[in-house]
Homo-oligomer: A and B are copies of this chain.
Amino acid sequence: MPDDLSWLFESTTRPERGLFFTRNSGADPRMGDIAARTADAYASADVVLLGCPQDEGVRRNGGRPGAAAAPDAIRDRLYRLVAIPGVRLLDLGDTILGESLEETHDRQRRIVAQLIRDGKRVIALGGGNDLSYPDCAGLATAAGGDLLAFNLDTHFDVREDTPRNSGTPYRQLIEERFLGRGQLVELGHQPFAVARSHRDYLERHGAQVHALSTWRAGGVVATVEGILADSRSQAIFWGLDMDVVRASDAPGVSAPSPTGLTAEEICALAEAIGGEPRTRVLEITEVCPAFDLDMRTSRLAALVIWHALSASAAR
């Protein structure tokens, strides 16, 4: 095994075998039948799934912990879905947590950068939304800075708090120059959830900002396709905070909102994300199984991944 690959496997823990569902039926293969879990499969994999099971950033932000349990809950649901022909998916497992959130972020960022350098597309499962900092920074490092980042979220996540928390990642990315003018798109915020001062901050730094209402009025998919058509960036980062979906469809999140995208809308968007050739990282954060209802939110997160992979394979 090359050193780089050894390092990737040493920095992560393997998912439980029991998560890889099977019906033991050639007539009905499932995602759990095709997701590879071995170092051997790395070279041929085109998509790598990586979890980061922590919610320290949510705690620091005064939120409800629980997102640490999300990666395995989402895997549990994803691997029961029907297998997609042509998808080569490697599940690298979970990033081994550091002593501090900062140390965890450093490791996560290096792993993501390595995966990108190896030509993989990455599906990153949080954890809290603080993860967007290392995930997007990792992509920016590996992709040479030529990227476009989407924050699909009810909140802006540009808080000025220190130390960093689940509400600060996009401010960190701006302040540390990973995202320059025009490189951040904030989609889906709702006015009762965002401070005026944070909106001003985004405007000063040249972010594109579309509230949920205007986003929807322009068409959830059409608006995104328009932004993609206007961008020459060669690497796209998608940060999906599941709280952008309304509480009835995504009850198990750290901070639910009664209004938001529907399950159908986020799945349609997932197809656009998977179908976009420049997509490099799809990150799903803030799923909180402890507050979920019958795993509804984990099921939806699994569908988002499935639709993205399906569109990617059909490309």
Give me the interface of A with B, judged by CB distance under 8 Å: 23, 27-29, 62, 81-82, 85, 159-160, 191-198, 246-249, 251, 256-259, 263-264, 267, 291, 293-294, 296, 299-300, 303, 306-307, 310
The listed residue with most B CB atoms (<10 A of its CB), out of A195, A258, A310, is A258
User: Closest Cβ of chain B: how far from A171's Cβ, in Å?
Assistant: 12
A296 contact set on B, CB distance < 8 A: 247-248, 251, 256, 258
A258 contact set on B, CB distance < 8 A: 249, 263, 296, 299-300, 303
A194 contact set on B, CB distance < 8 A: 82
From A194, which residue of chain B is reached at the shortest CB distance?
B82
Given contacts A248-B248, A263-B246, A263-B259, contact A198 B294 (CB under 8 A): no
B300 engages A251 (CB within 8 Å): no
A29's partner among B62, B195, B251, B263 (CB-CB below 8 A) is: B195
A interface, by DSSP: helix, strand, loop or mixed? loop
How many copies of the shown chain assemble into the complex? Answer: 3
A28's partner among B27, B28, B85, B195 (CB-CB below 8 A) is: B195
B299 engages A256 (CB within 8 Å): yes
A23 contact set on B, CB distance < 8 A: 62
Jot down 21 A-B pairs with beta carbons below 8 A, ordered by A.
A27-B197, A28-B195, A29-B195, A82-B192, A82-B193, A82-B194, A82-B195, A192-B303, A192-B307, A192-B310, A246-B263, A247-B294, A247-B296, A248-B248, A248-B263, A249-B258, A251-B296, A256-B294, A258-B299, A259-B263, A259-B303
A249 contact set on B, CB distance < 8 A: 246-248, 258
Given contacts A258-B263, A294-B291, contact A28 B197 (CB under 8 A): yes
A196 contact set on B, CB distance < 8 A: 82, 85
